[in-house]
């Protein structure tokens, strides 16, 4: 009997690997880059032509005493919605994902991760704009929205919205409920010897307090946690660069060199340019979610009167997540040289790099703190993805999702990750395809909305 179920398990893994290989093939990479470039051209590459305007309308505006219209539809302030989205994207991918990309694809994977992020900024801009445009007000006064709504209402393809929602559910539960929980539990166990089950129970209890409080409590929590966790990690990364500045030029040269050099790398990695690009793009998109369609599910709850008022957060989020945070992780790993000299991978590799490059043992504790805060923020923000997907399919079911989410956290602390990561990658890739096709077909609406907003707020666009 055990042999029978073992063969079924092997067949499932083999089938998933087969689908994953097709989904994350050259065609998807071309679609990702082509979509970003297409929107960049049609929107005038705002991430490059108007970076100060984007910062003024997002981060600078957030520090003002009054930055939202209380009469505008929505459940969260613009800043709270953005920080909830940042809490979802700044997670294990920024620590473990970057390390995995470098181990498999070499240092050049970081180069392609950043390039894909710069190109994908306009894709996320478009997703958020469409998410606001097609959001709906539910009978209970809550806001419903996301990629499934613009796929359904904008394109008139209800089935496509349902398909996207079906893929979102395992994606959210696997990536956050299981992977993030397990990463935190194993890291705490390695550092302090705490049994993983106890970490899982504590995380489940803390998460329950927040998610059972509703989307507003999620927004409040993320508005506090996200800036703190991101700021601390960035400061630690800057300290690494300053204290080891003599290593920086060599690391940058290696990153650029291996981005275009198809040579065999350390650790048994396949040193082809395609492997390098694939891992950089896949891990980068896993981290910043540009083109994935998930950002629209969180940003749709923002109190704004115009879709572009919230869409301007898209490029800023991608910049902070990938160009800043992922680059810090990647530089630390490459500067340490541990990607060549050890068999470490994932969060362990990043923690070891931080410990080596910072004085004393402070580096490992900073990285552990980041793993805990990044992972916990994902647990409370990814829940929103699962909730909105279930609502779209069944028209309700929030309580059921909450209970299952808390249970998944406890189970996740006791789970091995191998197949979970592979399954999440497959769901990730499958979600990208309908979303990118959808925003491409609706691109005319995004361009019109952008022109309206920029004409009102930038004199040169009138």
Q: What is the CA radius of gyration of the chain?
A: 21
Higher pLDDT, residue 263 or 400: 400
Q: Which of 203, 217, 228, 207 is nearest to 90 (CA)?
A: 228
- The band of 130, judged by pLDDT with boundaries at 50, 70 and 90, is very high
* pLDDT of the residue at 178: 81
User: Among 98-107, 240-249, 338-347, 386-395, whose mean pLDDT is lowest?
Assistant: 338-347
List Cβ neighbours of 38 (8 Å cut-off, separation of 6 or more). 440, 443
User: Would the pLDDT of 232 be above 90?
Assistant: no
Judged against a pLDDT cut of 60, whether residue 335 lies above it is answered with: yes
Q: How far apart are CA 168 and CA 343, in angstroms?
A: 33
Using CB atoms within 10 A of its CB, is residue 244 exposed (0-12), middle (13-18) or buried (19+)? middle
CB 433 within 8 A of CB 31: yes
pLDDT: which is higher, 33 or 216: 33
**CB contact burial 426-442 (16+ within 10 A = b; e otherwise):** bbbbbbbbbbbbbbbeb
More confident residue, 373 or 130: 130
pLDDT tens per residue across span 442-455: 999 999 999 999 99
In the predicted model, is pLDDT for residue 68 greater than 80?
no
The pLDDT, as a whole number, for residue 267 is 40
Q: Would you place residue 34 in the very low, low, confident or very high pLDDT band (cuts 50, 70, 90)?
A: very high
Instruction: Kindly tell me the sign of the dihedral angle through the C-alpha atoms of 240, 285, 298, 371.
Output: negative
- High-pLDDT (> 90) share of the chain, %: 33
Alpha carbon distance 360, 364 (integer Å)? 9
The two three-digit tokens of residue 312, written as one number: 């301007």
What pLDDT does residue 270 have?
45
Contacts of residue 429, defined as CB under 8 A and 6 or more positions apart, other chains included, come to: 20, 23, 24, 28, 282
Q: What is the arithmetic mean of pLDDT over 372-377?
A: 82
Task: Report the sign of the C-alpha dihedral through residues 211, 213, 214, 218, in that order.
Answer: negative
Ordered domains of the chain (ranges, CATH)? 2-461 (1.20.1740.10)
Lowest pLDDT segment from 88-92, 185-189, 382-386: 88-92
Q: What is the pLDDT of residue 218?
A: 64
For 97-124, write each residue's pLDDT tens digit.
788 888 888 899 999 999 999 999 999 9
Q: Which is higher by pLDDT, 166 or 218?
A: 166
What's the average model confidence in pLDDT over 382-396? Answer: 88
Lowest pLDDT segment from 99-103, 186-190, 271-275, 303-307: 271-275
Paired tokens of 447 = 């361009």
Q: Is the pLDDT of residue 268 over 50?
A: no
């Amino acid at each position: 009997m055990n042999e029978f179920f073992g063969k079924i398990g092997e067949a499932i893994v083999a089938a998933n690997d087969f689908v994953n290989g097709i989904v994350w093939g050259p065609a998807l990479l071309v679609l990702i880059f082509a979509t970003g470039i297409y929107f960049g051209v049609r929107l005038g590459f705002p991430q490059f032509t108007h970076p100060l305007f984007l910062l003024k309308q997002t981060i600078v505006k957030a520090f003002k005493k009054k930055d939202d219209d209380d009469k505008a539809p929505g459940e969260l302030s613009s800043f709270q919605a953005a920080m909830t989205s940042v809490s979802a994207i700044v997670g294990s991918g920024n620590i473990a994902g970057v390390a995995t990309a470098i181990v498999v694809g070499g240092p050049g994977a970081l180069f392609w991760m950043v390039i894909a992020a710069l190109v994908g900024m306009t894709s996320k801009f478009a997703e958020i704009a469409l998410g606001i445009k097609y959001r709906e007000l539910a009978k209970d006064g809550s806001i419903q929205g996301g990629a499934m709504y613009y796929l359904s209402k904008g394109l008139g393809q209800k089935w496509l919205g349902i398909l996207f929602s079906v893929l979102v559910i395992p994606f959210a539960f696997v990536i956050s409920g299981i992977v993030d929980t397990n990463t935190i539990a194993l890291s705490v166990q390695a550092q302090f010897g705490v049994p993983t089950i106890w970490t899982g129970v504590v995380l489940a209890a803390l998460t329950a307090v927040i998610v059972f409080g509703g989307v507003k409590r999620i927004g409040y929590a993320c508005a506090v946690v996200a800036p703190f966790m991101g700021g601390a990690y960035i400061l630690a990364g800057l300290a690494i660069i300053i204290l080891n500045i003599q290593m920086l030029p060599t690391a940058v040269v290696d990153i650029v060199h291996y981005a275009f050099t198809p040579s065999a790398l350390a650790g048994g990695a396949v040193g082809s340019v395609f492997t390098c690009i694939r891992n950089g793009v896949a891990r980068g998109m896993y981290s910043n979610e540009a083109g994935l369609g998930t950002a629209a599910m969180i940003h749709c709850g923002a109190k704004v009167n115009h879709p572009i008022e919230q869409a301007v957060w898209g490029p800023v989020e991608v910049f902070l997540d990938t160009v800043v945070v992922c680059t810090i992780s990647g530089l630390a790993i490459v500067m340490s040289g541990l990607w060549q000299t050890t068999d470490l991978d994932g969060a362990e590799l990043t923690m070891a790099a931080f410990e080596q490059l910072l004085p004393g043992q402070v580096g490992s504790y900073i990285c552990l703190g980041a793993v805990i805060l990044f992972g916990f923020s994902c647990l409370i923000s990814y829940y929103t993805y699962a909730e909105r997907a279930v609502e779209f399919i069944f028209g309700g079911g929030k309580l059921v999702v909450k209970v299952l989410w808390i249970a998944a956290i406890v189970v996740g602390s006791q789970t091995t990750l191998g197949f979970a990561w592979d399954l999440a990658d497959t769901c990730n890739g499958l979600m990208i395809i309908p979303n990118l096709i959808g925003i491409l077909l609706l691109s005319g609406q995004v361009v019109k909305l952008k022109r309206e907003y920029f004409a009102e707020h930038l004199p040169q666009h009138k």
